[in-house]
Structure formats: C-alpha cells, structure tokens
Amino acid sequence: MPYTVRVEQVASIPTAVVRRQAQLSELSHVVPQACGIVWDAIRAQSVQGAQRNIALYFDGEINLEAGVELDGRTSFAGYGEVVRSAMPGGTVATAVHVGPYSGLPDAHQAIRRWCTDHRCALAGPNWEIYGHWLEDETQLRTDVFYLLRNTMAPVHTCRETGDEQGFV
C-alpha cells in the first residue's frame, strides 16, 4: 500500500496506560491485552472521556505504553497498574494505514524511509492511534506517528530543498 507521509505539529494527548516491554513478535498480543486492562480500569471507575486505543513505543527494546486516549477534561488518577500518562507533542512525521494490523510494519517503514530521504531526524518515540474496531479488517484505520527532532525549522521543510537549515 502506498503511504503519504506528512509533517505536522501535534499536541500532547493525555492517556491511561499500562507499561510493558515486549518482543516484536509479541506486540499483536501484548497491545490488545494491555488496552483491555485499561478499559477494565476505566469502566471500574466510570471514567468519562475515554477515546481510542493507543500504543506508544519508546525505543528499540520495545518499552511501550498501551492504553486509551483521554480527553483533556477527564479525571483519572490511576487504578492498579493502570497509570495516567501522555503521548508526546511536537513535530511529527505521520501516515495513515488502512487495513489489517499485520500491515502496520509497512507504514512504519514508509515513514522511516521518508524521513531518511528528507533528512528529518527522528527524536525517539513513535506511536499508533487505532481507529474504532470494524469487522471488515480491510477498513481498519491506524494513524502512525514518529516524533522528529526539531530545531525551529518550518514544519513543512525537513531539508527538502537541500539547505542546511532545519532539522538536525
């Protein structure tokens, strides 16, 4: 599937999450299980303002947080292993994946390749925001984000012109 990669500014989003470490081969089980734990905690506390499932990946060791977006007005202090956290805000490279989750590695690879080609330096974390579940997996939407290292460059450039201003 071809991907259109965009550079955007995003705000930090509050989340309720559990923290895990996993192997790449375990993610298809670890992320849904963690999101289920968070939803159980949200229901147990009758939390209002819970939204979409998320997974935030911190490093190559696959330290991650998985859980649920919260709207900015949601009061949630934590519940057992479920803690309040937030997804990063800042300049990101992002693409939309439509289809089964098994195809997500292609979206990640497309963003990383685009960043290399456009000399956009990655800042570390990347994350996925999952659209609402549909029985037709070919229609599932997942937004994929990579935080970029920014040194006050215009959001849309990333050295596309070949000059030395912008992202380092």
Residue 105 structure tokens: 């590695």
Apex 145 CA angle, 142 and 150, nearest 5: 165
| Residue 18 to residues 48, 72, 112, Cα–Cα distance (Å) | 18, 19, 26
Query: Which residue ranges form the domains of the chain, and what is each CATH number?
Result: 6-148 (3.20.80.10)
With a cut of 50, say whether residue 106 has pLDDT above it. yes
Percent of the chain scored above 90 by pLDDT? 79
Instruction: Summarize pLDDT for 21-76 with one digit per residue, the tens.
Output: 999 999 999 999 999 999 999 999 999 999 999 999 999 889 999 999 999 888 88
Contact 93/114 with Cβ under 8 angstroms? yes
pLDDT for 158 equals: 56
| Residue 87 to residues 11, 16, 55, 105, 161, Cα–Cα distance (Å) | 8, 10, 9, 20, 30
Considering the entire predicted model, what is its pTM?
Answer: 0.87
Instruction: Summarize pLDDT for 123-146 with one digit per residue, the tens.
Output: 999 999 999 988 899 999 999 999
pLDDT for 28 equals: 93
Side-chain half-sphere CA neighbours of 142 within 13 A: 24
pLDDT band per the 50, 70, 90 thresholds, residue 153: very low
Q: What is the mean pLDDT of the chain?
A: 89
Region at 56 (left for phi over 0; alpha for psi -120 to 50; beta for the rest): beta
With a cut of 50, say whether residue 168 has pLDDT above it. no
pLDDT for 145 equals: 98
